Structure 1
Amino acid sequence: MITVLGGYLPATAIESSAIPPGRLTHVFYAFATIEDGRLRLPPDAPSHLETLRRLAPNTVLSIGGWGAGGFSDAALTDRSRAAFIEQTLALASGFDGVDLDWEFPVAGGPPELTHRPDDRHNATLLARELRAALGPARLLTAALPAGRLQSAGPYDPAASYGLEALAEVLDFVNLMTYDFGTGFSPIATFNAPFAEVPDEPMPPALRRWNNVTAAVDCYTAHGVPRDKLVLGVPFYGRAFRAAPPGLFQPQTGTLEPPDWRDIKRDYLSDPSWQQHRHPIARSPWLYHPQSQTFVSYEDPQSIEERARFAATNGLRGAFTWQLAADDDEHTLLSAMTRPFGRDHGTGWNAPPV
């Protein structure tokens, strides 16, 4: 069983990315989507495949993503699942595997997407039948969410997915331990807090699960082995309008999520941004008094801390959304891979776990 060091790379970012080879074990190409009942690749996917193969020994086609519909219909019947799988095998013929990013069965995600109570069971059937069709030599993974506020309110991943049954057929789970603080939150809060912050003004039952370590506990409690969990770390931040001091204040609006490269270049070098680090969330945050802007983000210290947690607690590895958000020096990628023995593109310094 090898350690997984993965990263998602959107099709739109392929040409501008300059990710060094030798640092990743898996690259996830984002996204194929279901449109009018048909599975479609990004337009330039054939030319992108060669680039992806240079980045990692395993190239995986990711299907879905935030706001992507069509899964509920595709998983609904024996016939619709067979059609989806047939299309998947055809489009993923040049890839080493498939990643299912169904956000989200039953409830959650954009409210306009089709949801059904049967989605939870049908998602397991779809994964099981796709696993059989792919065969043992190719990968089947899934990006699965942590508990957090969604469009329909408090979100429990176990209500959307049969987690233990899915874990039996997946090679591993990319656990999306980020997006805890989004526009669905009434307050300006952290994107990926490491642990529960007791003074966060949210209901205790919700606050308990809205952090990295509790998300791992939730999944293991529902039957997912630790060695099938790959911990997600975000290379982007979340931004809110909020009155002073910003943190945990009622938010009056959200701004475009800034990538790490933008934060490093534009914010950290500007003294008008107040810089903070929370001792329990173990995340840095910024506040701009003039514009009343709060920004939660991760930096090399917090990324490495999360990766070390994964490496020392029996998890399969770490991954990021998304690789092109890093700076030109690949600072965050280095921080994510360092606890697992990968150092600056020189390969493994220790045997894979």
Structure 2
Amino acid sequence: MKKKILFALSLLLGITAVSVPAEAHTKYKRVAYFIQWGVYGRNYHVKDIDVTGAAAKLTHLNYAFGFVNAEGTCYSSDPWADWQRPVPAEQSVDGVADAPGQALNGNLNQLLKLKAKHPHLKTLISLGGWTGSRWFSDAVLTPEGRTKLAQSCVDLWLRGNLPGLEPGAAAGVFDGIDLDWEWPGSSGHPDNVFRPEDKRNFTLFVEELRAQMRSYASGSLLSAFLPAATAKIDAGFEVRRVFRALDFATIQGYDLRGSWELQTGHNGNLLTDRRDPNPVRYSVDQTVRDYLSRGAPARKIVVGVPAYGQGWTGVKGGGDGLYKPADGPAPGKWGAGTEDYKDLVTKPGKRYRDFRTGTMWLYDGNEFWSYDDPAVLMQKAAYIRLKGLGGSMMWSIDQDDAKASLTTALYNVLR
């Protein structure tokens, strides 16, 4: 039955199945990000990954984020959430509250409990992100700086030597490191430092970090989050050489268009839309092709998928609302122009689907939302299989619904 579904989806995708070694289909990476700050307003805890059923269907969990400081070392951006907050019984993976005086509290202790319950699950600390990449360029500018940064990251996050705790208190929490420098050689957050030398220095840092990680534990994992835009790829990444040092890389498959623009579009379309009026057209497929043509091995490419949507308000022009002018970002629970899948699925309005581009969207005559539902993710998962890619990555797990519908859609195809 699964082969029939994949064949049907391949016809919808317009893809000719490539010859893929049998072992390539034996195991796919199903990665999701867990946001450290979700334990606050979002009230989403490590336990929820388990109770929704998502933990059993993931292979890797990226914990976002650790930061790099102006001194060129790794540090925790929120020690309270990471290891200081006493977790009550009702929020604990095993139903046992953190005891006064125990060695490790917070999210990191809960990750240990989650891994004990799901031994197959690998966890990685993700370094950087949109607001945590400011000092990467300075930190890796010299050989001494690269050595210092790599040593501090291994010591803090892998050896588990956390400030204020006994040495090794958090050893074993993380199985590896995920680099999320946004972006080497090109602009990201307005405060970021970047320079042309970042391209070579990123490669050299990845190789230094890889060497130090292997010295600590030969099986430790190293991944990176990489951009979709070709200009950012070419400005910041020696693709072939970087991929040799990585176990895998997750490529950006969302925010291809967004509410920072005054025209609606697709958040994460699988295939390029020939109707797209923009001078530069983006798609997941184009990004995959760009990395393959630059020397990335298919089996190491993990495709990013969104568990949220991009939204616009004041959308004019009628019809289905696609590629129409808008007044600005639509209101969202956690920020203008963005909304979680679990909230979008209940929004009123007419829904449109285009299998030719691997997209769906909602339009009520005023608000327009582009987001992925389980059917879209099955289409993307079929693409991943048919192209012999490494798997999927979701940003972020808290945005899925209480039944883990998006996670399950990916799992049903990528296993």
Q: Could you tell me the TM-score, scaled by structure 1's length?
A: 0.87
Structure 2 equivalent of residue 92 of structure 1: 157
Give me the whole-angstrom Cα distance separating, in 2, the residues matched to 1:119 and 1:185: 28
Change (3 A) 1:120 1:220: same
Structure 2 equivalent of residue 317 of structure 1: 391
Residue 16 in 1 paired to residue 44 in 2?
Answer: yes
Structure 2 equivalent of residue 58 of structure 1: 122
Residue 74 in 1 paired to residue 124 in 2?
Answer: no
Structure 2 equivalent of residue 36 of structure 1: 70
Residue 7 in 1 paired to residue 42 in 2?
Answer: no
Aligned partner letter, 1:3: Y
Residue 176 in 1 paired to residue 252 in 2?
Answer: yes
Structure 1 equivalent of residue 340 of structure 2: 259
Give me the whole-angstrom Cα distance separating, in 1, the residues matched to 2:31 and 2:44: 19
Instruction: Tell me the CA shift for residue 249 of structure 1.
Output: 1.5
User: What secondary structure is seen at the aligned counterpart in 1 of 2:225?
Assistant: strand
Q: Please tell me the root mean square deviation across aligned C-alpha atoms, in Å.
A: 1.7
Contact 1:285 1:294 in 2 (8 A): yes
Deviation per CA, 1:233-255: give whole Å up to 9, x if none: 11000011321333102333123
Contact 1:283 1:297 in 2 (8 A): yes
Deviation per CA, 1:17-59: give whole Å up to 9, x if none: 4123321111000000123334222322233123334165211
Contact 2:69 2:135 in 1 (8 A): yes
Aligned partner letter, 1:230: V
Instruction: Tell me the CA shift for residue 158 of structure 1.
Output: 2.2
Structure 2 equivalent of residue 151 of structure 1: none
Aligned partner letter, 1:278: D
Q: Which has the larger radius of gyration?
A: 2
Give me the whole-angstrom Cα distance separating, in 2, the residues matched to 1:159 and 1:36: 23
Aligned partner letter, 1:201: P
Change (3 A) 1:279 1:4: closer
Q: Could you tell me the TM-score, scaled by structure 2's length?
A: 0.75
- 1:1-353 matches, cutoff 5 A: 2-14=27-39, 16-17=44-45, 18-19=48-49, 20=53, 21-37=55-71, 38-41=73-76, 42-43=78-79, 44-46=81-83, 47-53=106-112, 54=114, 57-68=121-132, 69-93=134-158, 94=171, 95-135=174-214, 136-147=218-229, 155-203=231-279, 206-207=280-281, 210-241=282-313, 242-245=315-318, 246-255=321-330, 256=336, 257-265=338-346, 267=347, 270=348, 273-289=349-365, 292-341=366-415
Contact 1:4 1:230 in 2 (8 A): yes
User: What secondary structure is seen at the aligned counterpart in 2 of 1:173?
Assistant: strand
Figure out how many residues of one structure are paired with residues of the other and give that number.
Answer: 324
Give me the whole-angstrom Cα distance separating, in 2, the residues matched to 1:192 and 1:231: 11
- Higher-strand-fraction structure: 1
Give me the whole-angstrom Cα distance separating, in 2, the residues matched to 1:52 and 1:319: 19
User: What secondary structure is seen at the aligned counterpart in 2 of 1:22?
Assistant: helix
Which segments of structure 1 move beyond 4 Å, counting only runs of 4 or more? none
Give me the whole-angstrom Cα distance separating, in 1, the residues matched to 2:176 and 2:128: 15
Instruction: Tell me the CA shift for residue 169 of structure 1.
Output: 0.3
Structure 2 equivalent of residue 348 of structure 1: none
Aligned partner letter, 1:35: N
Give me the whole-angstrom Cα distance separating, in 1, the residues matched to 2:395 and 2:187: 20
Deviation per CA, 1:90-139: give whole Å up to 9, x if none: 22123100000011111132233111010111000110000000003101
Contact 2:358 2:380 in 1 (8 A): no
Structure 1's unaligned 5+ residue stretches are 149-154, 342-353
Give me the whole-angstrom Cα distance separating, in 2, the residues matched to 1:89 and 1:235: 30
